[in-house]
Homo-oligomer: A and B are copies of this chain.
Amino acid sequence: MTETAPRTQPRRSDTTRAAILRAARERFAADGYERATIRAIAADAKIDPSMVMRYYGSKEGLFAAAAEFDLRLPDLTAVPAGQLGETLVRHFLTRWEGDETLVALLRAASTNPGAAERMRGIFADQLTAAVATFGTDPATTARRAGLVASQILGLAFTRYIVRLPPMVDLAPEELVSWIAPTLQRYLTGRVEN
């Protein structure tokens, strides 16, 4: 009975796996890596804790699967040179207002070395690659991407983790108009020194 034909009905286990990942992302985002327990995640997903181990091997394995993240950066070569900063801030705000995976990653990166490593990879690879697409001096690409990451992650940290009142209260478009010029300068400004 080894069925090789494509399957039309999803396996039960597929929906179970999806429910686990959903609950895991929620818990990791809300509580961080240590406080988010497999038991609590399983309870949220209405399944037995041992199923989590069966499907994902360990807590680390579960986190690795739940924290898969693609920034989905737009093609910056199609953006007018003067609107790069604005485009990026708006993209990030909409990207993570509706997806708590980045918040989960952000919280976990503070205490979990694996999560920090993944965060480094995401920004070093995806963001640096996007910055490299338009004509800046290759020697400064990594530095510019790092500076952009510092403001973008600082925005996320103060708005979603620490929840500084002024940063929580600002409307998305107000944040865009304040922060876009910062990114614009990091991306296209002249190198100092």
- Residues of A whose CB lies within 8 Å of any CB of B are 31-35, 106-107, 109-111, 116, 119-120, 123-124, 142-143, 145-147, 149-155, 157-159, 161-167, 170, 173-174, 177-179, 181-182, 185-186, 192-193
Contact status B31-A182, CB under 8 Å: no
Asked, given contacts A106-B110, A174-B192, A177-B192, whether A166 binds B145 with beta carbons under 8 Å apart, the answer is: yes
Sample 25 A-B pairs with CB under 8 A, ordered by A number.
A32-B110, A34-B35, A107-B110, A109-B110, A110-B110, A116-B163, A119-B162, A120-B162, A123-B164, A142-B165, A143-B166, A145-B166, A146-B164, A146-B165, A147-B179, A149-B158, A149-B164, A150-B159, A150-B167, A150-B179, A151-B154, A153-B154, A154-B157, A173-B193, A182-B182
Contact status B151-A182, CB under 8 Å: yes
CA A157 to CA B186, docked complex, whole Å:
18
Integer count of this chain's copies in the complex: 2
Q: Which residue of B lies closest to A168 (CB)?
A: B146
Distance in Å from the Cβ of A140 to the closest Cβ of chain B? 10
